[in-house]
C-alpha cells in the first residue's frame, strides 16, 4: 500500500462471489482462529486444541533500522520487518493467533505502526522495540480491514469489511469514536487520506464508487463512480489527483479539486493495489489473478509491460527513494522486490503466511 493507505487491505471479490473463494477461505480461517483463541483461554471447551498448534511466546523483535518495510500476514498473525537496504526479513512480530492482520499504517513520525485486525482490533507496534502493544477494540460489522493515519498523527481511521462505515480512533487515548456512515456498499473498503488531512477517500468495492469524507465534519460526500470493483487508492505527490485500482482492468483518475472521475486508464488484468513513485510519473498496479505488476505512465495514461512477481500479488509500497517497490504475494507467502530502474523483479523474500498490507517507514 502506498502513502496514507499504508498497505490497506486489498483484493478482489465479495464473500461468496465467484472471484472470492480465496478470500472466503481466509475469512473462514480468521473465524477459526478467533474460536481457537477462545478455546485456548477456556472460554469455549468444544474440543481440545493440539499443543503443536498453540502459539509459542516469542521474544520481542529486534528494532528495525531506517527505511523498513512492514508486512501484515493475515494467516500468520504477524508483522514482518524487512530491511530495505539489505532486503532481509527480520524477526516476525507476533500479534496473537486470533489477530488476523490485514491493513497496516505508520504514524508520520515513524515511531508506531497500527495494524487493522479482522478479528476486531487495532494493534499498535512500537517500531523502536518491535513490541506489539495492547490491542484497541475497534470492531465493526465485518471486522477492521483497512487503516489510514492522518498527517498530524492524531487519528487513525478504520474501515470494516462490508459494514459501510469508517471508524475514527484517537491515537493519544486509544478512544474509539462514533463510526461515520458512508451511505454506500463499501465491501472491501480501502482508505487513503489527502496530504492536507482534510478529506479521506474510501473505496466501495460493492458499489463501484469512491466516497469522499470530510474529516472536519465527519460527513460523507457524494460517491464518485470509479469502475466495477475499486480497490486501493493512491494520491499523486502534488495532491491533485487520486488513482483508483479497479478489479475490472482499469485505473480511474479522480480530480480531487472537482471530485470528478476522468476516463479510465486501460491496464487489463485484475488491479487491486496501487502505488505511485515519489516523482509522480509512474503508478505500479498489482494484477492479482495474473501474478504481475503493471507499470502505468501517468503522463500518457499508457500501461507498460507487466512485471512477473508471485502468486496473487495483493499489496504494494515504494521505497522513499523511489528505487524499489515491494509487492506482497498473498498466495505465496513472499514479498517480491522490483528494481524500478530496470522494472525487473528480484529474489522473493519469505514472510509470514498470507501477506497482505505493506508499508514503508517515512
At 161 the three-state DSSP class reads coil
Rounded Cα distance between 251 and 33, Å, is: 35
pTM score, two decimals? 0.83
Q: CATH number, domain at 150?
A: 2.130.10.10
Query: What range defines the domain where residue 273 resides?
Result: 3-360
For residue 23, the model assigns a pLDDT of 42
- In whole angstroms, give the CA distance from residue 201 to residue 260: 13
Are 147 and 161 a contacting pair, CB within 8 Å?
no
Q: What is the pLDDT of residue 112?
A: 98
Could you give the dihedral angle defined by the CA atoms of residues 17, 233, 139 and 39, in that order, rounded to the nearest 10 degrees?
60
Mean pLDDT, consecutive 10-residue segments, the chain of 362 residues? 39 40 41 37 30 37 70 96 96 88 96 94 96 86 85 94 87 95 76 97 91 96 94 97 97 97 97 98 98 98 98 97 97 97 98 97 92
Residue 142: predicted pLDDT: 63
Total domains in the chain come to 1
Residue with cell 487515548: 173
Per-residue pLDDT at 202: 94
- 236 HSE (CA, 13 A, CB side): 20
d(CA 143, CA 125): 19
| DSSP assigned state of 263 | P
- DSSP-based three-state secondary structure for 199: strand
For residue 197, the 8-state DSSP code is S
Tell me what pLDDT residue 189 has. Answer: 82
DSSP class of 288: T
Amino acid at each position: 500500500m502506498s502513502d496514507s493507505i499504508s498497505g490497506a487491505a486489498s483484493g478482489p471479490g465479495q464473500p461468496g462471489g465467484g472471484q472470492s473463494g480465496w478470500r472466503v477461505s481466509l475469512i473462514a480461517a480468521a473465524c477459526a482462529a478467533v474460536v481457537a483463541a477462545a478455546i485456548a483461554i477456556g472460554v469455549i471447551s468444544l474440543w481440545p486444541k493440539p499443543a503443536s498448534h498453540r502459539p509459542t511466546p516469542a521474544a520481542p523483535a529486534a528494532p528495525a533500522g531506517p527505511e523498513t518495510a512492514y508486512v501484515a500476514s493475515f494467516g500468520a498473525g504477524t508483522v514482518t520487518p524487512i530491511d530495505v537496504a539489505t532486503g532481509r526479513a527480520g524477526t516476525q512480530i507476533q500479534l496473537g493467533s486470533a489477530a488476523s492482520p490485514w491493513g497496516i499504517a505508520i504514524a508520520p513520525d515513524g515511531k508506531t505502526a497500527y495494524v487493522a485486525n479482522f478479528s476486531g482490533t487495532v494493534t499498535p507496534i512500537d517500531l523502536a522495540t518491535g513490541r506489539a502493544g495492547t490491542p484497541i477494540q475497534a470492531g465493526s460489522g465485518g471486522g477492521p480491514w483497512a487503516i489510514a493515519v492522518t498527517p498530524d498523527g492524531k487519528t487513525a481511521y478504520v474501515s470494516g469489511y462490508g459494514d459501510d462505515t469508517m471508524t475514527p480512533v484517537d491515537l493519544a487515548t486509544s478512544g474509539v469514536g462514533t463510526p461515520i456512515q458512508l451511505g454506500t456498499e463499501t465491501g472491501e473498503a480501502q482508505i487513503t487520506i489527502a496530504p492536507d488531512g482534510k478529506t479521506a477517500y474510501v473505496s466501495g468495492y460493492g458499489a463501484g464508487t469512491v466516497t469522499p469524507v470530510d474529516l472536519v465534519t465527519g460527513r460523507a460526500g457524494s460517491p464518485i463512480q470509479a469502475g466495477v470493483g475499486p480497490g486501493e487508492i493512491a494520491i499523486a505527490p502534488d495532491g491533485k489527483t487520486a488513482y483508483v485500482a479497479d478489479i475490472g482492468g482499469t485505473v480511474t483518475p479522480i480530480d480531487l479539486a472537482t471530485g470528478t472521475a476522468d476516463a479510465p486508464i486501460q491496464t487489463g488484468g485484475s488491479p487491486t493495489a496501487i502505488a505511485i513513485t515519489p516523482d509522480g510519473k509512474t503508478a505500479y498496479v498489482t494484477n492479482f489473478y495474473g501474478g504481475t505488476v503493471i507499470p502505468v505512465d501517468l503522463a500518457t495514461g499508457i500501461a507498460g509491460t507487466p512485471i512477473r512477481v508471485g502468486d496473487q500479488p495483493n499489496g504494494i509500497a515504494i521505497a522513499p527513494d523511489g528505487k524499489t517497490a515491494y509487492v506482497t504475494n498473498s498466495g505465496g507467502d513472499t514479498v517480491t522486490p522490483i528494481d524500478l530502474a530496470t522494472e525487473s523483479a528480484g529474489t522473493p523474500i519469505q514472510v509470514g503466511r498470507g501477506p497482505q498490507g505493506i508499508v514503508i517507514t517515512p
